[in-house]
């Protein structure tokens, strides 16, 4: 029996990167997983890969998290396929570089739509499913950028700080209502996925780019997806049933100073 046996997880942005890693680690611990993504072919292929190792565990839906209609379809399909939804991982996200002088309002709005507003819409729509499958958990992927600002990360800082606070509000609502539903945020530092390529590939040399990022981190390395995946497995499990409204930071010590 795995640590997540009987769990039914819905993971956004699951075609690649952290979402894919969460899905693989959840399935390895016995969960059923539904991964959704705006990349239709890639998300289906990822589910097939997972089913190659853990037969019948993974399902996939094309899903733009900024579309309410997509949320409704994907949540209903996932609940039908898995027999409910007991874990919601709001992971889909985009990055953006821009300061108060250089960021356009269009980009700012796009980052808010995908990284923050979608969590409100999606979690609200998922609540009936989570209430039907208690004990349940909501895991929102924020960032160290939700805890520390950078002059060139304006939109991302605002969205990810919002992810931190929406998680606490949801946690307190669920606690007050007497639901066995926890809600927490995870705050990774630079982790090896496509999202950091804009930084690591700026000079055309990935190794040099990653080394430059690693120098900013006390442990002198960037994160691996599994470093974050272990946190998500814990929060999805009943081991974390008394952990709610908190921030789990995986940053090699960055925010300790
Ligand atoms: N990798 C890091 O360094 C890092 C650090 C801190 C936080 N994060 C956060 O982790 C989460 C996952 O990012 P990642 O590192 O795996 O990057 P990634 O770019 O590899 O994955 C992001 C996924 O989200 C999907 N996506 C983007 N817009 C979408 C939309 N509108 N609807 C549905 N899916 C959409 C993409 O198609 C992609 O599959 C993001 O929220 C990101 O902000 C990542």
Read off the pLDDT of residues 209-256 as tens digits, 9 standing for 90 and up. 999 999 999 999 999 999 999 999 999 999 999 999 999 999 999 999
Read off the pLDDT of residues 26-57 as tens digits, 9 standing for 90 and up. 999 999 999 999 999 999 999 999 999 999 99
Can you state the percent helix, strand and coil of the chain, rounding each to 5?
Answer: 50, 15, 35
For residue 243, the CA-to-ligand 1 centroid distance in Å is: 24
Cα distance between residue 61 and residue 71, in whole Å? 10
pLDDT at 129 over 90: yes
Quick count: other Cβ atoms within 10 Å of Cβ 41? Answer: 11
- CATH architecture under which domain 8-191+224-256 falls: 3-Layer(aba) Sandwich (3.40)
Pull the structure tokens for residue 52.
């190659």
Q: Probe ligand 1: pick from 11, 17, 164, max atoms within 8 Å of CB?
A: 17
Strand partners, 54: none
Give yes or no for residue 91 CB within 6 A of ligand 1.
Answer: yes
Domain ranges within the chain, ordered by starting residue: 8-191+224-256
Q: Is 156 a catalytic residue?
A: yes
Whether the model pTM is above 0.75: yes
Cα distance between residue 2 and residue 24, in whole Å? 13
Read off the pLDDT of residues 67-112 as tens digits, 9 standing for 90 and up. 999 999 999 999 999 999 999 999 999 999 999 999 999 999 999 9
């Amino acid at each position: 029996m795995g640590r997540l046996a009987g769990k039914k997880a819905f993971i956004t942005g699951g075609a690649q990167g952290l979402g894919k890693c969460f899905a693989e680690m959840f399935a390895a611990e016995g969960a059923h997983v539904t991964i959704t993504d705006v990349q239709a072919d890639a998300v289906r292929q990822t589910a097939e890969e997972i089913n190659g190792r853990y037969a019948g565990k993974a399902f996939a839906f094309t899903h733009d998290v900024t579309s309410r209609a997509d949320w409704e379809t994907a949540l209903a399909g996932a609940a039908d396929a898995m027999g409910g939804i007991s874990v919601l991982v709001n992971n889909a996200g985009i990055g953006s570089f821009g300061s108060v002088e250089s960021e356009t309002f269009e980009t700012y709005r796009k980052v808010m739509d995908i990284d923050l507003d979608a969590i409100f819409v999606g979690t609200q729509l998922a609540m009936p499913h989570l209430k039907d499958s208690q004990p349940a958990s909501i895991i929102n992927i924020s960032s160290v950028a939700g805890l520390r600002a950078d002059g060139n990360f304006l939109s991302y800082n605002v969205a990810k700080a919002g992810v931190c606070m929406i998680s606490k509000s949801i946690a307190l609502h669920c606690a007050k209502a007497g639901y066995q539903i926890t809600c927490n945020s995870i705050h990774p530092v630079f982790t090896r996925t496509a999202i950091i390529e804009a930084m690591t590939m700026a000079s055309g040399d990935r190794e040099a780019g990653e080394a430059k990022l690693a120098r900013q981190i006390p442990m002198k390395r960037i994160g691996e997806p599994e470093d974050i995946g272990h946190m998500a497995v814990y929060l999805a499990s009943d081991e974390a049933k008394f952990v709610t409204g908190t921030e789990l930071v995986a940053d090699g010590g960055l925010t300790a100073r």
